Structure 1
Amino acid sequence: MRADPVQRAIDEDLVRVLYAQNPIAFFTHWFAIAVLVSIYWVDMPYPHLFAACFGFYAVANFAALGLWLCRRRWPNAMTARNWIRLHAVRGVLLYSAPGLAIWFAFHSRQADLPVLHTVMLVTLAAGVFMSNGFDLLNFSTGIIFVLLPAIVLLFGSHNFDRTILAIVLAFFFCAINVYAISYRKLFQRVVQARVDQQQLAESLAEQKHVAEEASLAKTRFFAAASHDLRQPLHAIGLLAASLNDVAVTQAQHGKTAAHIVHNVEALNQLFNQVLDLARLESGVTQVIRLHFRLDELFERVGSQYRPQAAAKGLALRIAPTTMVVHDDPVLLERVLSNLLSNAVRYTEEGAIWVGLRRGGRRDGGYIEVRDSGIGIPAVEQERIFEEFYQVANPQRDARQGHGLGLPTVRRLVELLGGELRLRSAPGRGSVFRFPVRVGDPGGIVTSLSDTVVTGPSAQGRRVLCIDDDPSILEGLTRLLGRWGCIVRGARDETLALQALSEGFVPDAVLCDFQLANHRTGAQALTAVREALRRSGHEGAVMLLITGDMASGELATLAAQGIPVLHKPVTPARLRRTLEILWQQAERDGAAGNLATASCPLPASR
């Protein structure tokens, strides 16, 4: 990969160097023509052949100048490599005439002509080295035609003096080739260093630009978040203050209380959306894939938005499908919920369609959400994925959302390994599309429509809870006890290990991440798992619960597939997580693999 830009840079520099010498070479070759003609003028063997040879030399010199002019006039007419090849052809034509012309010296009555001609050829060879030594092709073609004919004829003359001259010329030929190799290597190193420096400068400039864009995006994010968080807080403060007014009637109190509740709900919704984005950015959101029926997911999401759509007179159509997919149902549900929420919000009449299209894919298909809403102009279609940006809400009315749904959707789809695509036009609605992969019907372990508050899954299960907060530990103990679980609480890792040593063998271990004495839940779970392994009990599921989203260790745990729930965790979400973990454990039947088992986690992950 790295050699391509370096080679291109070398070729471009070679073209500049090779053609830069051509005007000087034009006059140099005319001087060579004049010198050679003058030394042969007294005794010119084969005059017609001699005239043809040097006439060809002159024409080749003019052709070389014409090539230089073409290169100046049309530099982009061909690639750098082709300009180099054409220059090599020019060298063959230009240097063959003086090189082969030494044949005339061996047919002249002047005994010193071979030596004089050889001196001229050595001078031309030095010029070849200086102007063409950077490039193997141009140097080889030039130096061979200049020196090789003279070496062959001098060796073939069977004259001692000329044989010595031939040996010296052959040594010069070899030496100049060796020096040219070093010359080319030096040139390549210089060009490569320049390219490396240029790439480094471009990389630094790009990183600087990315950092500046990230800083600006962060500033815009916090400015918009601060505005949208302050608005309901400000309204709640003013409304709460009005409740102390004794002159206000009971009906007005009720109306004020309703407004307070509405603003609290808006504040809670925004807070949860910001937390969702923070989890995605921090890398702690896990992709835990499960085989499940797609129509069950469609029905779950559709049942949430049918009342809202019906209230606006919209038809919410869900296309039936029998496809089983292998994906994270919780993250997919969040994607569909956000897309349907937007579709209902920005569609005033017509219908909304949700369904699966195979799109020619054998290993899956594409989920599409279509609406007949206001549509999105082409110039806005990239900006709608920016946090807090809304096309149709310039007044930033919180009742129309906060502009966090689509950024969350895009990040979730990318986290699932797909790409979110949008097709839209003003007044013609929008189509959002993303891929899903086909699953195995035999791998289905639970129905997405199963209830989570009933059933025997939790009855009689032994659960070990580790948390250094007494109130949370008490709350978990009472909650799990109401589900029929046998619960043992521990405030730290030591007490948890003590419970195990006393014979308490858990079916599940729930552990907070931040524990006392600078210990973490990951360390505690490792110690508990090792103690269970030593006692021959490796069937307990491990579940980490945390309010932390910035820890690098959490990201590592998520990458390893260890289930992590982020606070606040509702009882229903905790119950469903535990039940599916237990069902998956029973299905796999492989002790010790539960921490990395594929299972869906609650929507607050």
Structure 2
Amino acid sequence: MRVDPFQREIDEDLVRVLYAQDPIAFFSHWFSIAVLVAIYWPDIPSPRLFVACFGFYAAANCGGLALWICHRRYPRLVSPRGWIYLHAVRGMLLYSAPGFAVWFAFQSPHPDLPLLHTVMLVTLAAGVFMSNGFDLLNFSTAIPFLLFPSIVLHFGTHTFDRTILAIVLAFFVCAINVYALSYRKLFQRVVQARVDQQYLAESLAAQKRVAEEASLAKTRFFAAASHDLRQPLHAIGLLAASLNDPLNDPLHDPAATPVQHAKTAEHIVYNVEALNQLFNQVLDLARLESGVTQVIRLHFRLSELFERIGSQYRPQAAAKGLALRIAPTGVIVHDDPVLLERVLSNLVSNAVRYTEEGAIWVGFRRAGRSSGGFIEVRDSGIGIPLDEHQRIFEEFYQVANPQRDARQGHGLGLPTVRRLVTMLGGELQLRSAPGRGSVFRFPVQGGDAGGIVASLNEGVAGGPSAQGRRVLCIDDEPSILEGLASLLARWGCVVRGARDEADALAALGDGFVPDAVLCDYQLANHRTGAQALSAVRAMLARAGHEGVVTLLITGDMASAELAALALQGIPVLHKPVTPARLRRTLDMLWQQADLDKGRAVAARGLSVGDGGFDSADGSPSGDHRPPRMSF
């Protein structure tokens, strides 16, 4: 049985205090034995019984000492509560001997012996209160055996003075019980204060360690990031300077041919791409750490995602002589296709980079699960030693790249993958050994074919979803507003621009009813896009236009309001937003809104016709609505 942590702290303190006083109690009881024997020695009643009683008293006292020695040498032999129980048994045996020995006083011809023996018992009871009063078990097993026989015998004499003495003893027992109760409460408060102080100290120490580790990790992160950022910048500066150097002009140096200039320009482009890739990876990690990256779960065919990964990485694999095998599957999953694609892209990219011969396999396995399963990425690459399995998930750490060659990546892919898989509610698993390749595996949720609203491989432009849609764009930057209007118009949308919240409400007042509202997060006059969207939605709701798609676009990475919006399920896109991502997001939102609207109309039609209920639990027939999308 599990013990409450606070109760265990109390038990441990009780054990320390109880056993700390046992050596003194040992000598006190030997003194008590000597005094009682001396009192009865001139005229011992029932000698055999007397010897047995006081022999038992002496043996119990020695047994108490043996228990103290055992606890001192083997403190972990039993639990703290066990030591308390043993101490209570020791007290019951030890104090029953002098308690029942008062019978000899009533058998003695000397009338003063009952009073003297009773005084000795009260003295021992006071010692019990001082040493055992803070523990109910030890106190309640000692006092009754010590005083109750005397109370009963004094009452049994039926004399006035002995009856008064019995009443006084009974009152004494009640009084020390009341004081012992207060004693126990005080003891518990003291222990509580100590435990609270100890927990506070441990918590502060743990927080200090976390802060120190975070500071060290931050230092390592910036040191590595600084190196990887400076390298391409340094190369770009040198290459650009070489192009601008008049000595490299063909008029001054015939050796500087246009081919050399083109090669230099190519190197510059390569370094710019490397710099852009690193910058985007760092931004991705920052978004994940800030908690504003949203999970948009959709029902889709996993084969479509595999097809996108295959078309992207087959040329790279073929260039190295590798085979990229995608296992066919008809599974429907319910997950975020964008985040899953980022996970697979990083894993397959790593597999291609660190595999020199053989093949790379991507597929889906049920692994005994009735719904959903696992996506696996296998390679026949260099493998990862067991002691490196955790380190590869550290930022900027690479097993086979001690020289930090940027052409082999920057060591941010796997940390991003682990965070993304965790965000999706799974755990990234790794099996790998040097020379035997690697297997990365993570779970995905099962989906419903009836909930599919779009194909992942639909084209970006010219699709039917955007044609004729009315879009209200809110942004205080004229160039961005113009760019959005031009892009959306090419997709066939009817666009209305607004510089701020007031312009947007004015457009609605003019009768412009949008199918979507795109809004920047930071607007003029200290207003935010969240406030503008709230005002627009409220005005549309009052006019009876609900279910309008809203989308917030921001360049902020960490904001309490953005994190709150993400938790509320409000879609947010982070700049820079590519046209493909904007179009895909709008198409998914529009198709989901249309599907919800159609099902709502169908449900109302069923309720008007025949009630629309045919199931045993009264649920609407035919309504297999997928869960609402969580952004």
What is the rounded CA distance, in whole Å, between the counterparts of 2:196 and 2:385 in structure 1? Answer: 42
Matched, 1:59 2:59: yes
Match among 316, 337, 351 for residue 345 of structure 2: 337
* Counterpart residue number, 1:307: 315
How far residue 412 of structure 1 moved from its aligned partner, in angstroms, is 0.7
Within a 5 Å distance, the mapping from 1:123-522 to structure 2 comes to: 123-244=123-244, 245-246=248-249, 247=253, 248-522=256-530
How far residue 294 of structure 1 moved from its aligned partner, in angstroms, is 1.5
AA matched with 1:36: L
What is the rounded CA distance, in whole Å, between the counterparts of 1:557 and 1:346 in structure 2? Answer: 40
How far residue 222 of structure 1 moved from its aligned partner, in angstroms, is 1.4
How far residue 454 of structure 1 moved from its aligned partner, in angstroms, is 2.8
Q: Secondary structure at the match of 2:355?
A: coil
Conserved? CA contact 1:375–1:427, under 8 Å = yes
* Counterpart residue number, 2:609: none
AA matched with 1:370: R
Q: Secondary structure at the match of 2:352?
A: helix
How far residue 116 of structure 1 moved from its aligned partner, in angstroms, is 0.7
Q: Secondary structure at the match of 1:243?
A: helix
Matched, 1:598 2:606: no
What is the rounded CA distance, in whole Å, between the counterparts of 1:577 and 1:494 in structure 2? Answer: 26
Match among 554, 566, 577 for residue 546 of structure 1: 554
- The gaps in structure 1 that reach 5 residues or longer are 601-605
Question: Residue by residue, what CA displacement relative to the aligned partner does 1:351-406 show, whole Å, maximum 9, x if unpaired?
Answer: 22222222332232222212222122222211111111111111000000001001
How far residue 589 of structure 1 moved from its aligned partner, in angstroms, is 0.6
AA matched with 2:134: F
What is the rounded CA distance, in whole Å, between the counterparts of 1:143 and 1:474 in structure 2? Answer: 92
Conserved? CA contact 1:561–1:597, under 8 Å = no
The count of aligned residue pairs is: 597
How far residue 539 of structure 1 moved from its aligned partner, in angstroms, is 3.7
AA matched with 1:598: M
What is the rounded CA distance, in whole Å, between the counterparts of 1:266 and 1:206 in structure 2? Answer: 39
Q: Secondary structure at the match of 1:253?
A: helix
Question: Residue by residue, what CA displacement relative to the aligned partner does 1:160-191 show, whole Å, maximum 9, x if unpaired?
Answer: 11100000000111111111111111111111
How far residue 425 of structure 1 moved from its aligned partner, in angstroms, is 1.8
AA matched with 1:281: E
Instruction: Say if 1:316 and 1:23 are closer, same or farther in 2 by CA, change over 3 A.
Output: same
- The gaps in structure 2 that reach 5 residues or longer are 601-626
What is the rounded CA distance, in whole Å, between the counterparts of 1:561 and 1:42 in structure 2? Answer: 94
AA matched with 1:440: D
What is the rounded CA distance, in whole Å, between the counterparts of 1:20 and 1:456 in structure 2? Answer: 85
Q: Secondary structure at the match of 2:191?
A: helix
Question: Residue by residue, what CA displacement relative to the aligned partner does 1:58-82 show, whole Å, maximum 9, x if unpaired?
Answer: 1111111111111112111111111
* Counterpart residue number, 1:603: none
Which stretch of structure 1 is more off in the superposition, 425-434 or 479-488? Answer: 425-434
Conserved? CA contact 1:581–1:599, under 8 Å = no
Question: Residue by residue, what CA displacement relative to the aligned partner does 1:203-241 show, whole Å, maximum 9, x if unpaired?
Answer: 001101111111111111112111111111111111111
TM-score when normalising by structure 2: 0.92
AA matched with 1:453: A
Matched, 1:528 2:559: no
Conserved? CA contact 1:580–1:599, under 8 Å = no
AA matched with 2:303: D
How far residue 304 of structure 1 moved from its aligned partner, in angstroms, is 1.2
Within a 5 Å distance, the mapping from 1:76-115 to structure 2 comes to: 76-115=76-115
Q: Secondary structure at the match of 1:106?
A: helix
Conserved? CA contact 2:295–2:630, under 8 Å = no
Q: Secondary structure at the match of 1:284?
A: coil
* Counterpart residue number, 2:573: 565
Which stretch of structure 1 is more off in the superposition, 121-130 or 317-326? Answer: 317-326
What is the rounded CA distance, in whole Å, between the counterparts of 2:278 and 2:297 in structure 1? Answer: 28
What is the rounded CA distance, in whole Å, between the counterparts of 2:544 and 2:173 in structure 1? Answer: 82
Q: Secondary structure at the match of 1:572?
A: helix
How far residue 49 of structure 1 moved from its aligned partner, in angstroms, is 0.6
Question: Residue by residue, what CA displacement relative to the aligned partner does 1:311-353 show, whole Å, maximum 9, x if unpaired?
Answer: 2222222222222111111111111111111111111122222
How far residue 584 of structure 1 moved from its aligned partner, in angstroms, is 0.7
Match among 540, 545, 565 for residue 537 of structure 1: 545
Q: Secondary structure at the match of 2:88?
A: helix
Q: Secondary structure at the match of 1:559?
A: helix
What is the rounded CA distance, in whole Å, between the counterparts of 2:590 and 2:350 in structure 1? Answer: 36
Conserved? CA contact 2:299–2:332, under 8 Å = yes
Conserved? CA contact 1:102–1:149, under 8 Å = yes
Question: Residue by residue, what CA displacement relative to the aligned partner does 1:445-480 show, whole Å, maximum 9, x if unpaired?
Answer: 111122222322211111111111111111111111
Compute the RMSD of aligned alpha carbons: 1.8
What is the rounded CA distance, in whole Å, between the counterparts of 1:2 and 1:191 in structure 2? Answer: 20
AA matched with 1:286: Q
AA matched with 1:199: Y
AA matched with 2:235: A
Conserved? CA contact 1:301–1:333, under 8 Å = yes
* Counterpart residue number, 2:72: 72
What is the rounded CA distance, in whole Å, between the counterparts of 1:2 and 1:516 in structure 2? Answer: 59
AA matched with 1:232: P
How far residue 2 of structure 1 moved from its aligned partner, in angstroms, is 12
Conserved? CA contact 1:584–1:599, under 8 Å = no
Which stretch of structure 1 is more off in the superposition, 156-165 or 292-301? Answer: 292-301
What is the rounded CA distance, in whole Å, between the counterparts of 2:37 and 2:94 in structure 1? Answer: 16
AA matched with 2:335: D
Q: Secondary structure at the match of 1:589?
A: helix
Question: Residue by residue, what CA displacement relative to the aligned partner does 1:68-122 show, whole Å, maximum 9, x if unpaired?
Answer: 1111121111111111111111111111111011111111111111111100100
Instruction: Say if 1:208 and 1:580 are closer, same or farther in 2 by CA, change over 3 A.
Output: same
Conserved? CA contact 1:290–1:599, under 8 Å = no
Instruction: Say if 1:270 and 1:407 are closer, same or farther in 2 by CA, change over 3 A.
Output: same
Conserved? CA contact 1:157–1:163, under 8 Å = yes
AA matched with 1:360: G
Question: Residue by residue, what CA displacement relative to the aligned partner does 1:264-313 show, whole Å, maximum 9, x if unpaired?
Answer: 11011111101101111111100111111112212211221122122222
What is the rounded CA distance, in whole Å, between the counterparts of 1:150 and 1:319 in structure 2? Answer: 90
Conserved? CA contact 2:471–2:495, under 8 Å = yes
How far residue 155 of structure 1 moved from its aligned partner, in angstroms, is 1.2
Q: Secondary structure at the match of 1:41?
A: helix
Q: Secondary structure at the match of 1:285?
A: coil
How far residue 591 of structure 1 moved from its aligned partner, in angstroms, is 11
